[in-house]
C-alpha cells in the first residue's frame, strides 16, 4: 500500500508590515521607500537615508510633498515617471527609473529608483524601492555630451559603437552613441526604461574576468591604446563577438573611451575554418595512409622522416624512381609497376595508382599507393601528392576469408538450409543446392529469401521475431557497430506440416576485395535440444503455487509483446484481485486459502484463449493479458466471464468474489508499467464501488481520483 501524500498549500506572496519596514529600513545603508500602488502613490515609509538626500526630516518631507511620491519628483520629470509607474502597476514585477528629486532648499539631485511589487499585511499592493544618488554620474554624462548637434549626429552615424565608461570592475556606462545601443539591440528608450548603466551586464560571463584583467593591467601601465576581443549579449539573448579599441588618457584616470566593432561574422568564419582544418587533420590521422610529395621536374621525393626510415631511405631522395630501385627496396616482381607509377607523373598523367611489394624494416610487404598531380598555370606538372598504405594485413585478410568460407560451407552437410548473400547489394549468391533448403530460381535477393521462408516455413507466432532479426537494414547496422554474428531459434514448418525447432545462424563478413558486407546463413535442426531447454525454462517461469506465470515472466512477456506490436494492434491488461481473501486465510487456514487460489487459477485458464497470458503477481493478485483483441470481442462480456470464473463458495459460509480493472493498448498506454498503472487505477475504483465488479479505465477516472486526493486502494 502506498502512503497518502500530504496536501500541499498554495504558496502565498510575503506580506509587508510597518514594523518590518522600519527595522529593515533603518539598518541598511541604502535609501528605502515604501509606497502604495494607487493613483496618488502615497508614501507609507521613507528611511533616514532617503530623507537625508532631500535635506529634511520626516515632518518637513510630509509638509513639502503631502506624502505623494510624484511630488518628490521634479515637475519636468513627473510625466515620464508617472508613465513608468503606470506601466509598472499594469504588468511589471520590477521597475527602474531615473529622475530629479526636489530638496528642501529648492535644489535637486538625480536618483535611480529600482522598485519591486509586494503586499501589505492587509493585502494592499505596495512597491518597495531602493534609491541611489547618481548626480555625479549624470554630471559625467553631461561632460561628455557633444557641444553641438552636428557633432552628435556625426558620432551617431559612425559605423561602430562609441562609448565612454568608467575604468572599474562594473565598467559603468557614462555615454554611448546610437550605433553602440543598436549593435546590442537597444533603443535609447529601452536604455532609459531598463536602467542600462554599465557594460558589465552585456559581457558574456565566461569573458568578464578576462576583460576586467586587461583593463586593470593597461590602466596600471598607463597604456594610451589597447584592444581586446570578447563575446557580448544582444538584447535578444544572441551571443555576438566584439572587438573593442580602448583609449586611455592619464588626465582622466578613471575613464576609458572605447570603439566597439561587431566581428561576429569574422569569428564565425574563423571557427568554421579552424574546424575544417582540424577535421582534415584528424581524418588523415585516423587513416593508415602516409603522404609524400614528388617533384617530377627534378625527380625528387620528399617524405616524412618516420616513413623514410621504415623504408631505409633519407627524407629527401634524388633521382627517383631509378635510385630507389637501385637500392634493392623494390621487390623484383614490382619493379616494372614502380617505374611506371613515377614515369606517369613525369608525363603529366593527372592520376594513377599501383600495388607494390617493398622492403619495410628488413622484410618485403605490400603497399597500395595513388597520386594526384598539381599543375602550373602553364599546364606543367609541378607536384605529385602521393598517399600510400601498408596493405599486407589486407592480403592476410583475403587468405583468412577464403579459409573461413571453406570452414562455414563444410557445416552445411548437416544443415537444412545454407545461403550466401551480398547484404550490401541485396543479392543472392547461391548455395550448393545439395539440401532441402534450396531456394526457387526466382529468389535472387536477401529480401526475397526472407519473404519466401517467412511465407512457407516460419511458424506464425515466430514471424515477428523472424522478420525483426532478418531485417536487412538492422543487420547492416549491427555489422557496422561490431556485431558480426546473430542467431535466432524459431519453429519451422517442415514436410507434411510437421513443426520443429531450428537455429538460424547469420554470419556477417566483410568482403576483403570490395568491403561489401557478405551474409552467410546456416539453418540447423535443434528440435530435441530446444524442447529440453523449454521444459527447464517453464519450471523457472511458473508460479510455484498456481502453475501460472510468475510476476517476472508476465512483465517480460507482456513487454516483449508490446515492443513487437505493430500499428493497429489492440491488447488489454486486466488486474484481478480476490475480495476479502484475508478472511479465508484467517478462518479456514492458509492451506485452504492456497487451494482456493489454485482453483481460481484453473478457472481462469479455462476461460482464456490460447494466446492470452495469465499470471499471479503475488498474494491474491492475478494479471490477465488479452492479446490481439478482435473488434468483435465484447470486453465487458469477457470481464464478466472472468469475474464469474473467480467467484466461488467456501466453507463456513464464505463466498469468494473478485474485483477487476482493465486498461487497453494503445490508447491507455504503450508499456507494461503504463498499462499496469491504469489497470490498477480501474481496479481501485472497482474496490471503492463495493467490490465484486469490473471497471474499465478512462481518463476521467484518473482526474476524478486526483481531485479527490485518492492515491491508495481501500
DSSP string of 427-456, one letter each residue: EEEE----STTPPPTT--SHHHHHHHHHHH
pLDDT tens, 189-202? 777 777 777 888 88
The more confident residue out of 91 and 482 is 482
Q: Are strands 363-375 and 351-360 parallel, antiparallel or unpaired?
A: antiparallel
The pLDDT of residue 533 is: 73
pLDDT tens, 304-328? 888 888 888 999 999 999 999 999 9
Which range among 184-188, 195-199, 599-603 shows the weakest confidence by mean pLDDT?
195-199
Query: For the range 169-172, what are the long-range contacts, defined as Cβ-Cβ under 8 Å and sequence gap of 24 or more?
Result: 169/200, 169/212, 170/198, 170/200, 171/198, 171/199, 171/200, 171/203, 171/211, 171/212, 171/215, 172/137, 172/197, 172/198, 172/199
Residue pair 624/612 in contact (Cβ under 8 Å)? The answer is yes
Query: For residue 111, what are the CA distances in angstroms to 32, 135, 664?
Result: 12, 7, 67
Enter the pTM of the model.
0.33
Helix ranges (DSSP H) in 542-665: 551-564, 581-588, 590-607, 635-646
Alpha carbons 103 and 73: distance in angstroms, whole number: 10
Query: For residue 469, what are the CA distances in angstroms to 83, 489, 516, 522?
Result: 71, 10, 20, 14
Mean per-residue pLDDT, 545-571:
90
What CATH architecture does domain 15-133 belong to?
2-Layer Sandwich (3.30)
Q: Does domain 542-708 have CATH number 3.30.70.270?
A: yes
**Residue 433's pLDDT band (cuts 50, 70, 90):** very low
**In CATH, which of 3.30.350.10, 3.30.450.20, 1.10.1060.10, 3.10.290.10 is domain 396-532?**
3.30.450.20
The pLDDT of residue 576 is: 96
The pLDDT of residue 197 is: 79
Which range among 34-48, 265-279, 502-516 shows the weakest confidence by mean pLDDT?
265-279
Q: Where are the domains of the chain?
A: 15-133, 138-267, 287-390, 396-532, 542-708
Mean pLDDT of the chain, nearest integer:
83
**Residue 671's pLDDT band (cuts 50, 70, 90):** very high
The pLDDT of residue 14 is: 45
CATH topology identical between 15-133 and 396-532: yes
What CATH architecture does domain 287-390 belong to?
2-Layer Sandwich (3.30)
The pLDDT of residue 11 is: 39
**pLDDT reading at 25 higher than 50:** yes
Residue pair 206/230 in contact (Cβ under 8 Å)? The answer is no
Contact residues for 184 (Cβ-Cβ < 8 A; gap 6+): 161, 202, 232, 233, 234, 235, 240
Residue 317 phi/psi, 5-degree rounding, is -115, 125
What CATH architecture does domain 138-267 belong to?
2-Layer Sandwich (3.30)
User: Angle between the 590-607 and 581-588 helix axes, to the nearest 10 degrees?
Assistant: 140
pLDDT tens, 88-131? 787 667 778 888 999 888 889 998 888 888 887 777 888 888 88
**Residue 694's pLDDT band (cuts 50, 70, 90):** very high
Amino acid at each position: 500500500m502506498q502512503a497518502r501524500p500530504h496536501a500541499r498549500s498554495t504558496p502565498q506572496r510575503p506580506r509587508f508590515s510597518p514594523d518590518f519596514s522600519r527595522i529593515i529600513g533603518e539598518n541598511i545603508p541604502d535609501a528605502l521607500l515604501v509606497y502604495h500602488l494607487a493613483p496618488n502613490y502615497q508614501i507609507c515609509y521613507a528611511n533616514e537615508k532617503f530623507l537625508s538626500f532631500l535635506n529634511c526630516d520626516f515632518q518637513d518631507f510630509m509638509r513639502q510633498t503631502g506624502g505623494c511620491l510624484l511630488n518628490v519628483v521634479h515637475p519636468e520629470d513627473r510625466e515620464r515617471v508617472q508613465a513608468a509607474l503606470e506601466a509598472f502597476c499594469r504588468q511589471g514585477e520590477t521597475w527602474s527609473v531615473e529622475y530629479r528629486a526636489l530638496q528642501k532648499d529648492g535644489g535637486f539631485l538625480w536618483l535611480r529608483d529600482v522598485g519591486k511589487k509586494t503586499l501589505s499585511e492587509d493585502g494592499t499592493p505596495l512597491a518597495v524601492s531602493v534609491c541611489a544618488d547618481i548626480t555625479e554620474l549624470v554630471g559625467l554624462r553631461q561632460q561628455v555630451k557633444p557641444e553641438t548637434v552636428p557633432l552628435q549626429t556625426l558620432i551617431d552615424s559612425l559605423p561602430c559603437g562609441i562609448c565612454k565608461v568608467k575604468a572599474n570592475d562594473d565598467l559603468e556606462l557614462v555615454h554611448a552613441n546610437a550605433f553602440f545601443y543598436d549593435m546590442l539591440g537597444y533603443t535609447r528608450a529601452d536604455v532609459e526604461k531598463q536602467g542600462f548603466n554599465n557594460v558589465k551586464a552585456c559581457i558574456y560571463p565566461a569573458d568578464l574576468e578576462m576583460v576586467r584583467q586587461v583593463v586593470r593591467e593597461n590602466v596600471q601601465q598607463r597604456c594610451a591604446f589597447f584592444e581586446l576581443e570578447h563575446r557580448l549579449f544582444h538584447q535578444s539573448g544572441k551571443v555576438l563577438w566584439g572587438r573593442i579599441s580602448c583609449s586611455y588618457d592619464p588626465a582622466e584616470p578613471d575613464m576609458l573611451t572605447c570603439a566597439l566593432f561587431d566581428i561576429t561574422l569574422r569569428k564565425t568564419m574563423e571557427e568554421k575554418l579552424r574546424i575544417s582544418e582540424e577535421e582534415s587533420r584528424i581524418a588523415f590521422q585516423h587513416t593508415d595512409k602516409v603522404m609524400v610529395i614528388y617533384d617530377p621536374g627534378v625527380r625528387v621525393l620528399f617524405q616524412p622522416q618516420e616513413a623514410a626510415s621504415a623504408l631505409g631511405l633519407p627524407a629527401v631522395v634524388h633521382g627517383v624512381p631509378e635510385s630507389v630501385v637501385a637500392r634493392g627496396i623494390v621487390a623484383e616482381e614490382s619493379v616494372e609497376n614502380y617505374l611506371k607509377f613515377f614515369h606517369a607523373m613525369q608525363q603529366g598523367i593527372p592520376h594513377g595508382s599501383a600495388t607494390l611489394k617493398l622492403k619495410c624494416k628488413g622484410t618485403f610487404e605490400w603497399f597500395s599507393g595513388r597520386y594526384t598531380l598539381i599543375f602550373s598555370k602553364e599546364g606543367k606538372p609541378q607536384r605529385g601528392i602521393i598517399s600510400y598504405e601498408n596493405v599486407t594485413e589486407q592480403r592476410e585478410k583475403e587468405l583468412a576469408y577464403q579459409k573461413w568460407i571453406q570452414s562455414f560451407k563444410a557445416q552445411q552437410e548437416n544443415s537444412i538450409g545454407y545461403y550466401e548473400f551480398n547484404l550490401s547489394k541485396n543479392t543472392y549468391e547461391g548455395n550448393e543446392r545439395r539440401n532441402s533448403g534450396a531456394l526457387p530460381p526466382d529468389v535472387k535477393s536477401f529480401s526475397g529469401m526472407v519473404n519466401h521462408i517467412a511465407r512457407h516455413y516460419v511458424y506464425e507466432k515466430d514471424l515477428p521475431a523472424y522478420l525483426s532479426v532478418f531485417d536487412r537494414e538492422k543487420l547492416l547496422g549491427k555489422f557496422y557497430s561490431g556485431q558480426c554474428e546473430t542467431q535466432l531459434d524459431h519453429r519451422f514448418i517442415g514436410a507434411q506440416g510437421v513443426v520443429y525447432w531450428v537455429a538460424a545462424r547469420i554470419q556477417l563478413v566483410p568482403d576483403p576485395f570490395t568491403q561489401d558486407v557478405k551474409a552467410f546463413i546456416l539453418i540447423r535442426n535443434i528440435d530435441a535440444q530446444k524442447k529440453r531447454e523449454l521444459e527447464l525454462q517453464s519450471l523457472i517461469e511458473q508460479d510455484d503455487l498456481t502453475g501460472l506465470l510468475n510476476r517476472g515472466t508476465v512483465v517480460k512477456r507482456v513487454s516483449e509483446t508490446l515492443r513487437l506490436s505493430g500499428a493497429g494492434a489492440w491488447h488489454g491488461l486486466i488486474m484481478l484481485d480476490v475480495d476479502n481473501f484475508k478472511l479465508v486465510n484467517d478462518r479456514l487456514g492458509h492451506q485452504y486459502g492456497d487451494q482456493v487460489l489454485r482453483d481460481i487459477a484453473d478457472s481462469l485458464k479455462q476461460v482464456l484463449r490460447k494466446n492470452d497470458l495469465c499470471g499471479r503477481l503475488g498474494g491474491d493478485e492475478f494479471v490477465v493479458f488479452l492479446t490481439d483483441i478482435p473488434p468483435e470481442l465484447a470486453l465487458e462480456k469477457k470481464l464478466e466471464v472472468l469475474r464469474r470464473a473467480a467467484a466461488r463458495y467456501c466453507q463456513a459460509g464464505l463466498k469468494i468474489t473478485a474485483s477487476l480493472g482493465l486498461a487497453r493498448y494503445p490508447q491507455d498506454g504503450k508499456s507494461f508499467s503504463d498499462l499496469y498503472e491504469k489497470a490498477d487505477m480501474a481496479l481501485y475504483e472497482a474496490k471503492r464501488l463495493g467490490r465484486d465488479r469490473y471497471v474499465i479505465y478512462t481518463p476521467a477516472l484518473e482526474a476524478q481520483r486526483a481531485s479527490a486526493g485518492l492515491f491508495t486502494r481501500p
